[in-house]
A and B are shown apart, each in its own frame.
Chain A
Amino acid sequence: MFFSVLAADPLYVSLLLSSNDDSSGLAAIPLLLCLSGFIYFGAVYARYRNSDKRHLHEEETPVRIENLQQHNQFVIRLTGLRNSSMQDRNDQQVEGALNESGGGFAEQLANVKDWVK
């Protein structure tokens, strides 16, 4: 189950690989091969149904910023971290997107179920 969730969307797989810090790129190849069917399904599904597409309001809306004030205060040096990026980063988070399912695994599963019945 866990693997199919990841595999259903090529994006998740690339995220998984990029944060897979225990191994070099070499170990990623068999993982990709073992998931190839799921990745293929996810890619075709996305290309035909485009349910992950939406207007990127956060990037495409014309904006202007003025009177910028910024503060940067050094706190501490963290050493021996295992993650390649900040663990609870939320700088790419989007709250105002309207497409709810967003082409995720649940939607693809529901579509397969509809066909199987």
Chain B
Amino acid sequence: MYCEKCGNRLADDARFCDTCGATVAGAAIGSPAAAADASGSSVITPEQLRAKWQQEAAARGSSTATSATVAAPIAAPVLPQVVQNSGSGKDGINKCPYCGASDIQLNTATGQLRCNYCHREWSEAADGLDFDIASLNGMTIGAGSEDINYDASSVVTLKCSACGAEVVIETDEAPQARCHWCRNTLSLNNQVPNGAIPDAVIPFRVTKEQAQGLIETFVHKRQFYAHPRFKAEFTTDNIMGAYLPYMVVDVNSHASLSGQAELLVRKYDRDKTTYYDADLYDISRDFDLLIDDLTLEASAEKLNQNTLVNSNNVINAILPYPLKETLRFNANYLRGFTSEKRDLNRDAVAGVAQAQVRDIARYQANQTALAYNRGIHWENINVGVKGQLWKSVYLPVWLYSYLEVKNNGKRFLHYVAVNGATGETMGSVPIHMPKLLLISAIIELIGCAIGIPLTIFLFLFVP
């Protein structure tokens, strides 16, 4: 079996990990392997897991061979296959491969890690979670996508391998801390059950200066109706670089859609009225649907995009990210930035994922039926999920935020967000309502002054 915390291979009867010291029995509590194992044994090895999962997949395959459209829900509670992808990213002191110093930081200009001592640069490897989507079967997840143990402490203690001191890492703030004795930087790179360590990361490539420029341009284009207090207070000095938590899902599925569609045959005028003749068809579409990197917010606060109460939708709007370039997580990428811990599990976002997969199926089916120029009414949309791969990813966002306090005391947080990898920018600027209402009213009056006489004129004099 393997250590849940560091991935180290252990003897089957081991109770403690000899590398990191984690308690093995404790680590299995609440893990999907323990929950789903009906045999009574509380620990299951990855090999057993894989064998069991393959048997299940084979059983499912034979029973559904006649009908490929059996709809398995996304994130169905089946035993997931967990991929330990962070094996070589060790906890503790991460040393510069050239000089051995532990003072390492992201160089945003190159997207690489840089040793602050010898100034040489390098990159982490790819996250190792790229599979051929068509071959996905059952549920596969990265170790960082396992369900969060909400009781798990946010505080992790690591032993400094240089001096032996016990160093406390407050994972709510950052998965790193400095040893107070020898000043080495200690990193937490392996998954802990509190959601702080994802499977992968896309490092910042947009520098703070570039982000400031993008935000200023965005806001300056929206100056005329901007709230005067906002205009007076606007500055990009304290924009924040934040890594936000996402779940990225690959889906191997089969879609079946059926409905009616109309094809225009003739358009003609009779007694000042336009009429249309159309051919009605029953249509159906059936195809394998392979979805790559569906991206979902994995923070409860950011998943709430009710635009009446927040402007989180603008952070959603700067998607997508170049998810082919995700790297294995390394805490050094986070230095100098803030990060938000994932607080949602696969189950919590499965409903959204399911709905978005249906949307994608519908749009793909539309592409195969473009000839129906009067539209389609899809009556049945069935998407059967054969395989799915989930990974948790930190994605970089530059955020400008402004708290508007309205006349009635209501508060509204406006964001301007910049995609930290692509530079795509979207935002919300508080409006000076009196000015906008006044000018809208003037335009309305002028419009009516011309429009009403014109209506009367057309009514009376145009045959």
In the complex, per-residue mask of A29-52: 1 if CB is within 8 Å of any chain B CB, else 0 = 111111111101100110111110
Q: Kindly provide the distance from the CB of B433 to the nearest chain A CB, expressed in whole angstroms.
A: 4
In the complex, per-residue mask of B272-289: 1 if CB is within 8 Å of any chain A CB, else 0 = 111111111111111111
The answer, yes or no, to whether B63 is at the interface (CB within 8 Å) is no
Interface residue from B288, B353, B375, B426 paired with A89 (Cβ < 8 Å)? B375
Q: Is the CB of A61 within 8 A of B441?
A: no
Among residues 410 to 463 in chain B, which have CB atoms less than 8 Å away from a CB atom of chain A?
410, 426-431, 433-434, 436-437, 439-448, 450-452, 454-455, 458, 462
Q: Kindly provide the distance from the CB of A50 to the nearest chain B CB, expressed in whole angstroms.
A: 6
Interface residue from A33, A89, A99 paired with B450 (Cβ < 8 Å)? A33
The answer, yes or no, to whether B260 is at the interface (CB within 8 Å) is yes
Q: Kindly provide the distance from the CB of B454 to the nearest chain A CB, expressed in whole angstroms.
A: 4
Q: Is the CB of B278 within 8 A of A81?
A: yes
In the complex, per-residue mask of B367-399: 1 if CB is within 8 Å of any chain A CB, else 0 = 011000011111000000000000000000000
The answer, yes or no, to whether B307 is at the interface (CB within 8 Å) is yes
Among residues 59 to 87 in chain A, which have CB atoms less than 8 Å away from a CB atom of chain B?
59-86
Interface residue from A38, A85, A110 paired with B440 (Cβ < 8 Å)? A38
Interface residue from B265, B280, B363, B448 paired with A59 (Cβ < 8 Å)? B363
Q: Is the CB of B305 within 8 A of A88?
A: no
Q: Is the CB of B374 within 8 A of A98?
A: no
Q: Kindly provide the distance from the CB of A63 to the nearest chain B CB, expressed in whole angstroms.
A: 5
Residue of B nearest to A106 (CB): B308
Residue of A nearest to B441 (CB): A37
Q: Is the CB of B364 within 8 A of A33?
A: no
Residue of A nearest to B288 (CB): A66
Q: Is the CB of B358 within 8 A of A96?
A: yes
Interface residue tally for chain A (C-beta within 8 Å): 80
Q: Is the CB of B226 within 8 A of A48?
A: yes
Q: Is the CB of A37 within 8 A of B376?
A: no
Q: Is the CB of A78 within 8 A of B280?
A: yes
Q: Kindly provide the distance from the CB of A11 to the nearest chain B CB, expressed in whole angstroms.
A: 16
The answer, yes or no, to whether B306 is at the interface (CB within 8 Å) is yes
Q: Is the CB of B439 within 8 A of A45?
A: no
A115 to B283, CA, bound (A): 51
Q: Kindly provide the distance from the CB of A52 to the nearest chain B CB, expressed in whole angstroms.
A: 8
Supposing A86-B374, A115-B406 touch, asked if A44 and B431 sit within 8 A by C-beta, the answer is yes
Q: Is the CB of B308 within 8 A of A107?
A: yes
Q: Is the CB of A34 within 8 A of B290?
A: no
Q: Kindly provide the distance from the CB of B407 to the nearest chain A CB, expressed in whole angstroms.
A: 6
A35 to B448, CA, bound (A): 8
Residue of B nearest to A70 (CB): B285
Supposing A61-B291, A72-B283 touch, asked if A38 and B444 sit within 8 A by C-beta, the answer is yes
Residue of B nearest to A55 (CB): B319
Which of B293, B313, B439 has the largest number of chain A CB atoms within 10 A?
Answer: B313
A32 to B354, CA, bound (A): 40
A106 to B306, CA, bound (A): 12
Contacts of B303 in A (CB 8 A): 98
Supposing A53-B313, A95-B359 touch, asked if A77 and B408 sit within 8 A by C-beta, the answer is no
Q: Kindly provide the distance from the CB of B226 to the nearest chain A CB, expressed in whole angstroms.
A: 7
Contacts of A69 in B (CB 8 A): 285-287
Q: Kindly provide the distance from the CB of A44 to the nearest chain B CB, expressed in whole angstroms.
A: 6
Contacts of B133 in A (CB 8 A): 64
Q: Is the CB of A62 within 8 A of B282?
A: no
Q: Kindly provide the distance from the CB of B47 to the nearest chain A CB, expressed in whole angstroms.
A: 32
A82 to B268, CA, bound (A): 10
The answer, yes or no, to whether B262 is at the interface (CB within 8 Å) is yes
Q: Kindly provide the distance from the CB of A90 to the nearest chain B CB, expressed in whole angstroms.
A: 6
Question: What are 20 of the A-B contact pairs (CB < 8 Å)?
Answer: A34-B451, A44-B431, A49-B311, A55-B316, A62-B293, A65-B287, A65-B290, A67-B287, A68-B285, A72-B281, A77-B278, A81-B278, A83-B276, A89-B377, A91-B375, A93-B362, A95-B355, A98-B316, A100-B305, A116-B407
Given contacts A90-B376, A91-B378, A99-B306, 9 further A-B contacts (CB under 8 A): A48-B431, A54-B305, A55-B316, A60-B319, A61-B320, A66-B134, A84-B274, A89-B375, A101-B306
Binding site for B on A (CB under 8 A): 21-23, 26-27, 29-38, 40-41, 44-45, 47-51, 53-55, 57-86, 88-91, 93-96, 98-103, 106-107, 110-112, 114-117
Of all A-B residue pairs in the complex, the 9 with the closest CB atoms, nearest first, are: A37-B444, A33-B451, A89-B375, A36-B447, A96-B355, A96-B356, A86-B375, A51-B307, A55-B319
